Amino acid sequence: MLRTQPQPLVRPTNTPLPRAVLKFLLNNGLLIALVIEIAIFATASPEIFLSTGNLFTVLRISATTGITVAFYTIALIAGQIDLSTAQVGAVTAVIFAWMFAILEWPLELSFVLAMAFAALLGLINSWLVIRVKIPSLIATLALGTLCYGLAISVIQSNSTTGLIRLNRPPLRDIINTEIVGIPATVILMFAVYTIIYILLNHTRLGAHLYALGGNPQAARLNGIQDKRLVRFALMFTAMSAGFTAIMIAGRGLSAGAATPVGGVLGGPLVAAIFSGVGLSGGSGRIERTLIGVIFLAVLTSGMSILNVSPFARSMIEGLAFVFAILIDSVRQRIETR
Amino acid sequence: MFIKRFMHLLFVSSMLLASAGVLAQDATTYTADEIKEASGVEQCSQLAELPKEFSEDWKLAFINPNKAQSFWGQVSVGMNAAAEFYGVEFVEMDSAGGPDVELFETLLLNQPDVVGTHNAVDYEAVAARALDENIPYIGFDNGQTEYSPYVYGIPNGIAGEAGAELLIEGVQARLDTDWKDRELFFLEFTHNGIPACVDRTGAAATAFKEHFELDDEHIIQLDLATGATEIEMMLSTLTAHPDAVFAMIPCWDGLGIAPYNAAVEAGREADIMLVTLGGDKPPADLLLTKPQGYYGYIEFQPYCEGWGWIESALAIAEGVRFAPYQARRAVTQADIEQRYAELYGAPSS
Amino acid sequence: MSNQQPILQLRGISKSFGFVQAVKNVNWEVYPGEVHALVGDNGAGKSTLIKMICGALLPDSGEILVKGANARIAEPVDAFRLGIAPVYQDLALVEGRDVVMNMFLGDELTHGPFNLFLDHKRMAIETQRVLDEIHSRIPNVREYVRRLSGGQRQAVAVGRALIRGGEVIIMDEPTAALGVEQTREVLNLIETLRSRGKTVIFISHNILQVLQVTNRISVMFHGEMVGTRKTSETNEDEIVGMIVGTKRDVLAAQE
Amino acid sequence: MANSDTLEYRNRRTDDAQRLLRLALDNWLYAATILLCIFFAFRAPNFLTVDNVINTLVSSSITGIVTAGFTIVLLTGTIDASTSGITALASVLCAVMFQQWGVPLPLTLLLLMVASILMGLVSSFLIIEGRIYSLIATLGSSGVFLGLSVGLAAGQQIAITKPELQNALFERPLGIPVSIWVLFLCYLLGYVMLNHTRLGAHIYATGSNYSAARLSGIPVKRVIRIALIIAATTTSLAAVLATARANLSLLYGVTIGGVNLADVFTAALLGGISLRGGVGKIERNLVAVLFLSILSNGLQLMGTAPAVWLVIKGLAFVGAVIIDAVRQRL
């Protein structure tokens, strides 16, 4: 009947049982799918798949895309689609690598300047959206093209291999740090999701983001500062893309123009499909995004462990995708009825 | 000249790699003929004389970058065939185009004795991880790093130079006849986001440029990373130089064949000469049809390269000397029938 | 009534869009506690006038006085602060959010350190209180707005106006798209608001409804305020005449 | 009296100025394309040669053909992101049927047409019956098509050595390559269909107001289905051209004569097609495709460094987007 809200007041208590079960299944369809998925892989390869080491592999893969996708969900909730994450990420990582590895500036300085640069790109995106009044999808696509060009220019003037190597000592150690045996990046990812969960559900900022995405006109008429929210969303998406790209480059010891931070069809759509936002904004739950990210990471790791044939692999990926969107579509249809 | 350098490199690296090796050889080792026979139509050459009884039950592990691509699909087939032949356990994973560095952690859980990945974007980090764990790492293709002493596969620079050598042969013949007194350009089809391509075609460009003493203006790099298609770039280049002739080397076969056909479509087939790198079945099929300007290819033989990786990994485990993979077999229109028959049997039509 | 101080007073308000003068030198008074209708044909300037009162548009000239004091209303927030709460024709509700979040849209209650966190509990209680006050029949304050009926939505929008401390509730064509039953609900709602001592500005096309619930009626014609009548002293014919402009010359002569 | 006269006069003059400005902004793409041509004619050697004109058109043909179908779908307010899946599957199907099974070329093309209809139906089923947002639904179907193509090709590229396909591509009726004929034919058919048939009127109506169109008796679902089938057909056609040119089946993960969704998106947006549907002209999109093609062609002829023209293209895109935003606000 209605979607679970994070707080428990005034909830209907008289829902009939079968309906409650259906509601539960649909609301938690993704979680159930994740459990089934884990069960299948665990049966097929118990000793490797179920080990702690692989658990961390799955979580590390999740963290790689998860942080950007989390901020992506925020932007989508506010009704903004950012198609420039891959290119913004690439150019940020390349500029970081240039400062850190070529100019040999200190790590902290290079990092802060690179992040400031990413923030600037986010600001340009939001300027195009707010001042020039271009839909975010188009504005970010345009800026993305420009960023890719910048990334290639910086690489080509500093390297002949298409990559800038990043093997100055402190970086790899910092990225591979473990805290009580858990990789720092994994802890960071969970921290990011927790903070965003609180932000979206328990702060005014979150309430305003949902309102802006749900009905921008209404939000404006009720005194919500829409411009500030758009700026916030796009700036943080750009910064998270930059951060993730630096992380990936640091772990891979080199930065290139193809640093994968969810291209046009990657991160944005994962966020859109799994969180349940759709692409028009106003709804969507961050915890679903997290489950979706982990679901995909388990799929990657499981199929790699089982050495699934490429044919089966692309079929399974395609079908899992279609299945996930079908479930979500049924859920939304039942909800709006 | 560069052949000499190559042989030198070959020798030095063999000696280095075999420093802990056992030089003795007895009847209990496999012979080159046995390997040739076991690898079927590919007839791979033996890289290491491995004993028929291993000192331990070795376990090898490899992350294939993308088995959906025909080259890597063949590498996988060759690896599995070799592992079966030698009777060792082989763990294979497929990162399907994604980064290897995370999956590598899971690969290590199998407690392999020797590991490897494609030397793609994040291989240095993978090699560094293997070094942390004290497991020998053999990167597949491309250079050397401070994290692993083992070099395996087609060194991209050498492959590019081999391609240039073949192309020089073809172009020289044309320059003596119908290309006499024509302005000659070298076209390098590459992708600046892929380090292997930069190395490969870059080396080819340098070798070609030195041989014909061309200036920089006559070396044109057509870079896929710009977002333009290779066809678009080819056609623009053709019109920019309406009277010139072009020698072309692409990073992989398809990247050269498409622009070649675009040039045919533009009516300039007589002005181009192509040598490709890779030499899988599709380019072999095309070379059989004898296109005017498709001189030949450098055959990488992915099946044998995969087979050889297993041999080299076992050699490291056993402490036996192994020779570098020899991937510089040039195939031209002159000998394509013979080579095709060896590999794939008689052509269908 | 005329000896009372107007709660809302407009003096010489004008507004042009390009070369079209939408509102021409309007003077208008609304008194506390009354239900005051604003009627006029399409394009007569009602919406433009209301938007200026609500802070969605800035007038070119003239001044707005609230409770006798000169007010500058540049943003919707300014209007709220002065006790002017509009209920827009499209209601400005976010369909994908529940009743509570819509009630407090843009003005959420917070608690905790630095008032950082939303006070979901208090907002729900307040929502329930206001809905009870206006006799609304919404079974569950956690219901999504998209699943409410037209009348229920109207109640949410009016409830929001009350929660934001609205003393002057401006209802823009609240019955335009509603059925018979729901229309009655809205008219009852207006009645309830009057009994709570609120001032209501009621914009409508429907003269019968206007005659039914209002105290006074003002008519706009071609951007001008052509006159105000006490509901008890006028009839349908006169108002319709004023709306279509046939009484205009007569009125001009009178003034 | 005189007063109001001057006012009216002034009005008319501002109106004229405004109309002129609007005219300029509405047609800025045409103007920019012409200016670009003039610039390159002076600065880029060999730009204004018959060969270069033909080559520029040939190199824009594949992106152009895909954009035509993509545009028609966008006009219905639907986004079709299945381009890469359709390209891969159509190319592999073409290679398998024509080369491996020995199906004659005309029959191959006919069967491909049937396959395109099926692919369009899969996407439209997900969108219409599954009620899934089109961009997401078509990404899903694209994944399935990719999987099928990988399976059909058994992980191998297929070389096409039978000469008929490529000979057909290399034909030059009236001295103009076949791919250019196909490109213009697609846009001509698209133009006539959109502007002079009921289907065209229905497509615009569906895109500009879905529910209004439905209520006025337009079979909106069928319109969307047909649009998706048209897009699948044009994309398959482009895939056949690309396959013929490469002599190889296109393969997942490998770009050959690549059909790039981002390029198609860029051209469509540059051509002024709204993502919400109902707004835009297909002929403008052809010009947009040519604009992009001329830009990279001219920059290459001028010998500009590749990294520089990437940045120039990016700046041109941002500029185009800003101009378009200004235009829409007037």
pLDDT digits (tens, 9 = 90+) for B97-153: 777 888 888 888 889 999 999 877 778 888 888 888 899 999 888 666 777 788 788
Contact D253 B67 (CB under 8 A): no
Domain residue extents for chain A = 55-261
| Contact residues, chain B, for A304 at CB < 8 Å | 63, 93-96, 103, 106
Alpha carbon distance A111, A105 (integer Å): 10
Measured over the CA atoms of residue A98, residue A100, residue A103 and residue A108, the dihedral's sign is positive
ipTM over 0.85: no
Alpha carbon distance C151, C190 (integer Å): 12
Which uninterrupted H or E stretch holds B90? strand B89-94
CA distance D181 to chain A (A): 30
Contact A269 D135 (CB under 8 A): yes
Task: Name the E strands within chain C.
Answer: 8-17, 20-30, 35-40, 61-66, 69-71, 84-87, 110-111, 117-118, 168-172, 199-203, 216-221, 224-230
Q: For chain A, say whether D321 makes contact (Cβ under 8 Å).
A: yes
CA atoms within 13 A on the CB side of C154: 26
Alpha carbon distance D211, D230 (integer Å): 23
One domain, residues C50 and C126: no
Q: Which CATH number does the domain housing residue B169 bear?
A: 3.40.50.2300
Number of CB pairs < 8 Å for A and D?
A: 134
Residue C200: phi and psi, rounded to 5, are -125, 130
- Of the pLDDT bands very low, low, confident and very high (cuts 50, 70, 90), residue C187 is confident
Flag whether B2 is in a domain.
Answer: no
| Contact residues, chain C, for A275 at CB < 8 Å | none
Of D162, D256, D306, which has the smallest distance from its Cβ to B258's Cβ?
A: D256
One domain, residues B164 and B121: no
| Contact residues, chain D, for B221 at CB < 8 Å | 306
Mean pLDDT of B215-234: 83
For the ranges A11-15, B86-90, B162-166, the lowest mean pLDDT is seen at A11-15
One domain, residues B89 and B125: yes
Provide the number of structural domains found in chain C.
2
**What subunits make at least 3 CB pairs under 8 angstroms with D?**
A, B
One domain, residues C103 and C227: no
Q: For chain A, say whether C62 makes contact (Cβ under 8 Å).
A: no
One domain, residues B163 and B141: no
pLDDT digits (tens, 9 = 90+) for B264-322: 888 888 999 999 998 888 888 888 888 888 999 998 888 899 999 999 999 999 888 88
In the prediction, which pLDDT does A3 show?
37
Q: For chain C, say whether A3 makes contact (Cβ under 8 Å).
A: yes
Give yes or no for a contact between A314 and D140, defined as CB atoms under 8 angstroms apart. no
Flag whether B225 is in a domain.
Answer: yes
Among chain A residues, the shortest Cα distance to C91 is held by: A218
- Of the pLDDT bands very low, low, confident and very high (cuts 50, 70, 90), residue A309 is confident
Give yes or no for a contact between D245 and B265, defined as CB atoms under 8 angstroms apart. yes
One domain, residues C162 and C204: no
CA distance B96 to chain A (A): 8
| Contact residues, chain D, for A329 at CB < 8 Å | 130-132
Q: For chain A, say whether C86 makes contact (Cβ under 8 Å).
A: yes
Position B24 pLDDT exceeds 50: no
Flag whether B145 is in a domain.
Answer: yes
Cβ neighbours for C126, distance < 8 A, ≥ 6 positions apart:
C103, C104, C109, C163
In the prediction, which pLDDT does C13 show?
92
- Of the pLDDT bands very low, low, confident and very high (cuts 50, 70, 90), residue A262 is very low
Among chain D residues, the shortest Cα distance to A141 is held by: D266
Alpha carbon distance A165, D136 (integer Å): 37
In the prediction, which pLDDT does B348 show?
58
Of B66, B106, B128, which has the smallest distance from its Cβ to A301's Cβ?
A: B106
Q: For chain A, say whether B131 makes contact (Cβ under 8 Å).
A: no
Position A2 pLDDT exceeds 70: no
One domain, residues C79 and C96: no
CA distance B334 to chain D (A): 18
Among chain B residues, the shortest Cα distance to A176 is held by: B129
Of D307, D315, D322, which has the smallest distance from its Cβ to A153's Cβ?
A: D307
Alpha carbon distance C2, C235 (integer Å): 21
CA distance A334 to chain C (A): 12
Q: Tell me the residue range of the domain where C162 lies.
A: 91-166
Flag whether C143 is in a domain.
Answer: yes
| Contact residues, chain D, for B257 at CB < 8 Å | 246-248, 256
Cβ neighbours for B299, distance < 8 A, ≥ 6 positions apart:
B278, B279, B327, B329, B330, B331, B339
In the prediction, which pLDDT does A5 show?
40
One domain, residues C27 and C78: yes
Alpha carbon distance B116, B113 (integer Å): 10
Substitution target in A91, A155, A163 with the highest count of B β-carbons within 10 Å is A163
| Contact residues, chain C, for A6 at CB < 8 Å | 120
Residues in chain B: 349
Contact A9 C116 (CB under 8 A): no
Mean pLDDT of C54-59: 86
Q: Which tokens sit at C24?
A: 């021409």
Alpha carbon distance C108, C103 (integer Å): 9
The fold for domain D30-329 equals ABC transporter involved in vitamin B12 uptake, BtuC (1.10.3470)
Angle between helices D282-301 and D178-196 in degrees, nearest 10: 150
Q: For chain D, say whether A162 makes contact (Cβ under 8 Å).
A: no
Q: What is the mean pLDDT of chain A?
A: 82
Of D157, D161, D263, which has the smallest distance from its Cβ to B254's Cβ?
A: D157
C111, C142, C166 - which closes a domain: C166
Position C26 pLDDT exceeds 80: yes
Mean pLDDT of A63-78: 88
- Of the pLDDT bands very low, low, confident and very high (cuts 50, 70, 90), residue A220 is confident
Contact A207 C101 (CB under 8 A): yes
Q: For chain A, say whether B67 makes contact (Cβ under 8 Å).
A: yes
- Of the pLDDT bands very low, low, confident and very high (cuts 50, 70, 90), residue A242 is very high
Contact D265 A141 (CB under 8 A): yes
One domain, residues B72 and B202: no
Flag whether C12 is in a domain.
Answer: yes
Contact B286 D296 (CB under 8 A): no
Q: D176: which DSSP letter?
A: S
Flag whether C189 is in a domain.
Answer: no
Contact A10 C124 (CB under 8 A): yes
Q: For chain B, say whether D111 makes contact (Cβ under 8 Å).
A: no
Residue A37: phi and psi, rounded to 5, are -60, -45
HEC profile of chain A: CCCCCCCCCCCCCCCCHHHHHHHHHHHCHHHHHHHHHHHHHHHHCHHHHCCHHHHHHHHHHHHHHHHHHHHHHHHHHCCCCCCCHHHHHHHHHHHHHHHHHHCCCCHHHHHHHHHHHHHHHHHHHHHHHHCCCCCHHHHHHHHHHHHHHHHHHHHHCCCCCCEEECCCHHHHHHHCCEECCEEHHHHHHHHHHHHHHHHHHHCHHHHHHHHHHHCHHHHHHCCCCHHHHHHHHHHHHHHHHHHHHHHHHHHHCEEECCCCCCCCCCHHHHHHHHHCCCCCCCCCCHHHHHHHHHHHHHHHHHHHHCCCCHHHHHHHHHHHHHHHHHHHHHHHHHHHC
Q: Which tokens sit at B318?
A: 């056993």
| Contact residues, chain C, for A12 at CB < 8 Å | 140
In the prediction, which pLDDT does D102 show?
85
Q: Which CATH number does the domain housing residue C211 bear?
A: 3.40.50.300
Contact D310 B261 (CB under 8 A): no
Q: Tell me the residue range of the domain where B174 lies.
A: 156-299+334-344
Provide the number of structural domains found in chain B.
2
In the prediction, which pLDDT does D297 show?
84
Position A299 pLDDT exceeds 60: yes
- pLDDT tens series, chain D, 330 aa: 344 454 455 556 667 777 777 777 777 888 888 888 888 888 877 888 888 888 888 888 888 998 899 889 988 888 888 888 898 899 899 989 998 888 888 999 999 999 999 999 999 998 888 777 787 788 778 878 887 887 787 767 788 888 888 888 888 888 888 889 999 999 999 998 988 888 888 888 888 888 778 877 788 889 999 999 999 999 999 989 888 888 777 765 444 445 666 677 778 877 777 767 777 788 888 898 888 888 888 888 887 777 777 788 788 778 877 877 777 666
Position C155 pLDDT exceeds 90: no
Substitution target in B216, B221, B232, B234 with the highest count of D β-carbons within 10 Å is B232
In the prediction, which pLDDT does D17 show?
76
CA distance D306 to chain A (A): 9
Of B67, B192, B266, which has the smallest distance from its Cβ to D155's Cβ?
A: B67
| Whole-number Cα distances in Å, C144 to A24, A283, A284, C89 | 18, 11, 14, 19
Contact B98 A300 (CB under 8 A): yes
Flag whether B3 is in a domain.
Answer: no
Angle between helices A267-275 and A310-336 in degrees, nearest 10: 40
Which stretches of chain A sit within 8 Å of chain B by CB? 48, 51, 53-54, 56-57, 60-61, 64, 145, 148, 152, 155-156, 160-163, 165, 167, 172, 248, 251-254, 256-258, 260, 300-301, 303-305, 307-311, 313-314
pLDDT digits (tens, 9 = 90+) for C205-244: 888 888 888 999 999 988 889 889 898 888 888 888 888 8
| Contact residues, chain A, for D325 at CB < 8 Å | 132-134
One domain, residues C19 and C42: yes
Position B158 pLDDT exceeds 60: yes
pLDDT > 70 fraction of chain A, expressed in percent and rounded = 88
In the prediction, which pLDDT does C28 show?
92
- Of the pLDDT bands very low, low, confident and very high (cuts 50, 70, 90), residue B53 is confident
Q: For chain A, say whether C165 makes contact (Cβ under 8 Å).
A: no
